């Protein structure tokens, strides 16, 4: 009897459900854990993905609100697809049920706000012996669900294990490219959201395409500086999890981070956009967390700091733009 690979996805949002659909089409048996029992019950009844409108989940995709059941059945991989700031809590809850031989795939993008730690560092502190990979790249969940061609980076220090994990999702239209640089993949995925907000502010303020291109180029430089300080390779940032994800997130109004920046640039109150009850936009907490991390490492990240100041410190856009333009001339 052929063993059917089992993949558990923690997080029943748009991205988690899209990944479950890919895993099922690739021949795996997906289990989706949803935190809210009502969401899980409704999804089992209707088979409609709750945050991926107009898409139904195949009957072979198991949906449950029981994390012990979901993680306990995982044989080949557990994917963490919850919001970045929930990674610590969910990893700790899942840890007692996780087999020591089951690898984890981080599919969230961000930096922990309270500590300034990378999400991989949070996970490894809880599960130090577990193999950890990072899945990141330009990927709108609805396009993945529709079967549109998508390329991502699947990064793990052990490339042999990376190839095995990639095989769980490999399809003609969904291609994970292998990397042995998970830190770069993770930092690229986190900081592109901050740069997308900055790009949106520029466009919303009608400062021009030249300014956006300059900002994104310099923003990529900030990503590389932080990555190198954490042991990543500069070259990795030219790939899908760096430049590729940055292009998508900072040029399409379907990107929540870019759309948020545009609204701020047009003059909408920051509090109105990110206050209580508003949908989560991952670049908002990441801007603060990345600024904290850069300060700890003594790294110059002026664009990230400017976004953080506008979002969280009440800074005026004009003041921050003047500060950026007034910086001393340096080498590119």
Among residues 203, 201, 227, the alpha carbon closest in space to that of 290 is found at 227
State the virtual CA torsion across 149, 287, 122, 84 in degrees, nearest 10. Answer: -50
What is the rounded distance in angstroms from the CA atom of residue 199 to the CA atom of residue 192? 10
Q: Is 192 a catalytic residue?
A: yes
What is the rounded distance in angstroms from the CA atom of residue 327 to the CA atom of residue 253? 30
Tell me how far CA of residue 31 lies from CA of 17, 140, 198, in angstroms. 10, 21, 37
Contact 87, 113 (CB under 8 A): no
Contact 250, 258 (CB under 8 A): yes
* Catalytic choice (5, 100, 161, 192): 192
What is the rounded distance in angstroms from the CA atom of residue 301 to the CA atom of residue 230? 14
Active site residues per annotation: 192
């Amino acid at each position: 009897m052929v063993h059917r690979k089992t993949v558990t996805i923690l997080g029943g949002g748009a991205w988690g459900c899209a990944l479950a659909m890919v895993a099922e089409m690739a021949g795996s048996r997906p289990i989706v854990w949803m935190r809210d029992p009502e969401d899980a019950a409704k999804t089992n009844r209707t088979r409609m993905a709750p945050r991926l409108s107009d898409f139904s989940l195949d009957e072979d995709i198991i949906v449950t609100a029981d994390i012990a059941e979901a993680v306990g059945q995982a044989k080949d991989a557990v994917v963490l697809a919850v919001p970045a700031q929930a990674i610590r809590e969910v990893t700790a809850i899942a840890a007692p049920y996780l087999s020591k031989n089951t690898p984890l795939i981080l599919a969230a993008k961000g930096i922990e706000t309270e500590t300034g730690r990378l999400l991989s560092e949070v996970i490894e502190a809880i599960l130090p012996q577990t193999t950890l990979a990072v899945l990141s790249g330009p990927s709108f969940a609805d396009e993945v669900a529709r079967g549109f061609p998508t390329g991502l980076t699947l990064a793990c220090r052990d490339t042999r294990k990376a190839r095995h994990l990639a095989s769980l999702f490999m399809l003609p239209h969904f291609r994970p490219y292998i990397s042995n640089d998970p830190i770069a993949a993770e930092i690229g995925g986190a900081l592109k959201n901050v740069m997308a907000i900055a790009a949106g502010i520029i466009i919303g303020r009608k400062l021009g395409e030249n300014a956006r291109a300059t900002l994104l180029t310099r923003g990529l430089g900030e990503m590389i500086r932080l990555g190198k300080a954490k042991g990543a390779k500069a070259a990795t940032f030219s790939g899908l999890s760096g430049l590729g994800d940055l292009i998508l997130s900072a040029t399409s109004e379907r990107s929540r981070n870019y759309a948020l920046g545009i609204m701020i640039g047009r003059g909408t109150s920051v509090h109105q956009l990110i206050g209580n009850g508003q949908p989560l936009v991952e670049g908002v907490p990441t801007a603060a967390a990345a600024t904290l991390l850069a300060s700890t490492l003594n790294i110059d990240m002026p664009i990230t700091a400017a976004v953080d100041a506008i979002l969280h410190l009440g800074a005026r856009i004009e003041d921050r733009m003047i500060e950026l333009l007034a910086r001393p001339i340096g080498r590119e």
